């Protein structure tokens, strides 16, 4: 195992898939000589100039070309500079990529990864800071992934590239420069399998993306007060690994769901509904609690931006609130 930054593990996965399969290539804005808006493909152009296709600023065209290439047997990795602008390509994502296999009885498939940075915290204001995974998880035919660690981002991207279905691959901007242990050899992380990042017996924290490290930090602080949190990283929203969450809740009897997208109709509500309708419901000692973003556009002001989405202290406060209900 070697300590690597999230962005380096991601780039390593791309290079390895380029080398492994001649059908894999990448298309997007400024991904060639410039190296991408966040530097994911920096330094790759000299070796992989035939696999890095720069495009004009037209998200619909980028995704449309990706769908077409996937239909004729290639395996494109489509980069959208900011996930906010995936909205411009929804026709090709929702009505084409997600539907064509179903509409042809499996005669066609769309093996395409659409990867894109998401989330707030970088001072990029309302149109460049949204977290929208729940929108895509709502669409049958799409797989939705949001890795939280360098280990997971590499293993999940390699798996996504090899999947025969379209995969929405969302990377929180603030995670790019975080560090973690990554194996040197080949490995894959399965889609649709959650990971227990921290064992605990008092309460379950279900989190995804940037909220995983924040939940882990909160759990460490809460342990000093005698509260042992189990932190479950969903890793994939679609498919969602309900079984791992159920097992954890049956053990702890309490559940807090931590998400950085807007609370209204967020993915945490779906997790809560599935637990309510599962065998874990009878094991709950307290009502399920959600900690999520405010239902507002992301502000430009740094202080207001920070207040708009859950921080470590919000998770700590929520967990303590659960235990204070009974005095």
202-231, pLDDT tens digit by residue?
A: 999 999 999 999 999 999 999 999 999 999
Q: Nearest to residue 128, comparing CAs of 298, 306, 307, 309?
A: 298
Burial tier of 214 (Cβ tally within 10 Å: 0-12, 13-18, 19+):
buried
For 156-213, how does the pLDDT look when each residue is reduced to its tens digit (9 = 90+)?
Answer: 999 999 999 999 999 999 999 999 999 999 999 999 999 999 999 999 999 999 999 9
The whole-angstrom separation of Cα 218 and Cα 315 is 6
Question: Which alpha helices (H) appear in the chain, and where do they start and end?
Answer: 6-20, 45-48, 59-71, 90, 100-103, 133-137, 150-162, 211-223, 242-252, 267-276, 302-308, 312-324
Does residue 233 carry a pLDDT above 90? yes
pLDDT at 212: 98
DSSP letter for 76, please: E
Q: Give the torsion sign (CA, 11, 197, 203, 214).
A: negative
* Confidence (pLDDT) at 253: 98
Q: Over the range 162-180, which residues count as b (16 or more CB within 10 Å of their CB) and which as e?
A: bbebbbbbbbbbbbbebeb
The reported pTM is 0.97
Checking phi first, is residue 125 left (phi over 0); if not, alpha (psi -120 to 50) or beta? left
Catalytic residue among 17, 59, 79, 305: 59
Q: pLDDT for 281-327, tens place per residue?
A: 999 999 999 999 999 999 999 999 999 999 999 999 999 999 987 65
Q: How confident is the model at residue 236 (pLDDT cuts 50, 70, 90)?
A: very high
Find where tokens 């997971």 sit.
152
Q: Could you tell me if 207 and 261 are in contact, meaning their C-beta atoms sit under 8 angstroms apart?
A: no
Task: Identify the bridge partners of residue 203 per DSSP, sorted by sequence position.
Answer: 229
Q: Which of 128, 171, 259, 305 is catalytic?
A: 128
What's residue 278's pLDDT? 98
How far is Cα 293 from Cα 299, in angstroms, rounded to an integer?
12
236 bridge partner residues: 145
Q: What does the pLDDT average to over 227-241?
A: 98
Question: Domains in the chain, please, with CATH?
Answer: 2-182 (3.40.50.970), 195-324 (3.40.50.920)
List the 113-118 sheet strands across, edge first.
52-54, 24-28, 75-79, 113-118, 167-172, 143-145, 236-238
Annotation marks residue 128 as catalytic: yes
> Is 172 considered catalytic here?
no
- pLDDT for the residue 318: 98
Tell me if 36 sits within 8 A of 30, measured CB to CB.
Answer: yes
Q: Which residue has the tokens 């296999």?
A: 101
């Amino acid at each position: 195992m070697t300590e690597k930054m999230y962005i380096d593990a991601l780039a390593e996965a791309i290079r390895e898939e380029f080398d492994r399969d001649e059908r894999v290539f990448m298309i997007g804005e400024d991904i060639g000589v410039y190296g991408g808006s966040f530097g994911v493909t920096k330094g790759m152009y000299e070796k992989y100039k035939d696999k890095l296709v720069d495009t004009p600023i037209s998200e619909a065209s980028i995704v449309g070309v990706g769908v077409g290439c996937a239909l004729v047997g290639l395996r494109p990795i489509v980069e959208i500079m900011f996930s906010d602008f995936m909205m411009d390509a929804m026709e090709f994502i929702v009505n084409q990529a997600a539907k064509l296999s179903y509409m042809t009885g499996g005669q066609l498939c769309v093996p395409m990864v659409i990867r894109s940075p998401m989330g707030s915290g970088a001072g990029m204001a309302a149109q460049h800071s949204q977290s929208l995974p729940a929108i895509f998880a709502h669409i049958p035919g799409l797989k939705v992934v949001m890795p939280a660690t360098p280990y997971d981002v590499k293993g999940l991207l390699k798996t996504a590239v090899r999947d025969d279905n379209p995969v929405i691959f969302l990377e929180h901007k603030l995670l790019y420069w975080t560090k973690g242990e990554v194996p040197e050899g080949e490995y894959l992380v399965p889609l649709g399998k959650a990971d227990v990042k921290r064992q605990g017996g008092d309460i379950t924290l279900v989190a995804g993306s940037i909220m995983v490290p924040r939940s882990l930090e909160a759990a460490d602080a809460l342990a000093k007060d005698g509260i042992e949190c189990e932190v479950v990283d969903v890793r994939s929203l679609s498919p969602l690994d309900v079984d791992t969450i159920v097992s954890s809740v049956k053990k702890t009897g309490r559940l807090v769901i931590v998400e950085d997208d807007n609370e209204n109709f967020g993915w945490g509500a779906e997790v809560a509904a599935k637990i309510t309708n599962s065998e874990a419901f009878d094991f709950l000692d307290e009502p399920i609690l959600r900690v999520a973003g405010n239902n507002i556009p992301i502000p430009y002001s740094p202080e207001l931006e920070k207040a708009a989405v859950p921080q470590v202290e919000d998770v700590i406060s929520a967990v303590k609130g659960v235990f204070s209900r009974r005095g």
